[in-house]
Amino acid sequence: MERILLLIKHNLGFIWEIIERVNNFLFSLLYSKRLDRVTREIFEEIHHHHVICRKISFADSAKLYELIKNQPTSDLTYFKPHSFELDSIARQIRKSSFLMMGAFSDNKLVGYFFLRMFVNRKCFVGRLIDQEYRGQGIGLIMNRIMYEIAWRMKFRCLSTISRNNHAIMRAHSGNRHMIVLKELKDDYLLVEFLPDNSIPGKAAEQVITL
């Protein structure tokens, strides 16, 4: 199923748009209230002394646009969750099935992370941190928030990672929550993030040995 969805997303944009609209409608009916409650709980529980993490609002559209625009082009090669035009970002924020979150330092958006959620109880996660704020532990906090939201919603927490994205491969090489599910075309891996009590032995090593 994941391979089919990725194929449609990257090659059949008009069909992907229909899938997203139907999914968003059903997700709103089934899960949106619960997602709001779970998200609030996790933001209250997980903190970082450098930043405040919260949902991105419509008023933050320009901040997200500037964050993405100011990153090196090479950093966006493998990060394409949606269009980065300002009006597209504003439309994306309105989708209840696409949870957009930010890490803010003195009201400046320095990190962006998200969950793309599907009604079949699967979600895909991703993140981007401003180059000037990397190495401060912000990514670990973002990961914890994304994982906890997915797990408490009883969703499978997935991501696709390119073997050619060496920075992300290094970042995840010690991620004790991650297992590799399968290899996809063009040197991509489909991975899942699991709670500690659900992980087979030496799961993170699979990224390096596959």
The model's pLDDT over 179-197, given as tens digits with 9 standing for 90+, comes to: 999 998 888 899 999 998 7
- Residue 12's pLDDT band, with cuts at 50, 70 and 90, is low
In the chain, the N- to C-terminal Cα span, in Å, equals 21
pLDDT at 67: 96
User: Structurally, how many domains does the chain consist of?
Assistant: 1
Give, for 157, the enclosing helix (H) or strand (E): strand 156-162
pLDDT at 205: 46
pTM of the model: 0.87
Residue 191 lies in a domain: no
Residue 199 lies in a domain: no
Residue 100 lies in a domain: yes
Residue 208 lies in a domain: no
Domain of 122 in residue numbering reads as: 2-154
Residue 194 lies in a domain: no
pLDDT at 49: 78
Dihedral, CA atoms, 174, 164, 93, 100, nearest 10 degrees? Answer: 0
Residue 114 lies in a domain: yes
| Ramachandran assignment for 89, one of left (phi > 0), alpha (psi -120 to 50 degrees), beta (any other) | alpha
Return the sign of the alpha-carbon dihedral for residues 178, 183, 185, 190: negative
Residue 32 lies in a domain: yes
Q: CATH number for the domain including 135?
A: 3.40.630.30
- Residue 2's pLDDT band, with cuts at 50, 70 and 90, is low
Mean pLDDT over 56-74 rounds to 94
- Residue 89's pLDDT band, with cuts at 50, 70 and 90, is very high
Residue 210 lies in a domain: no
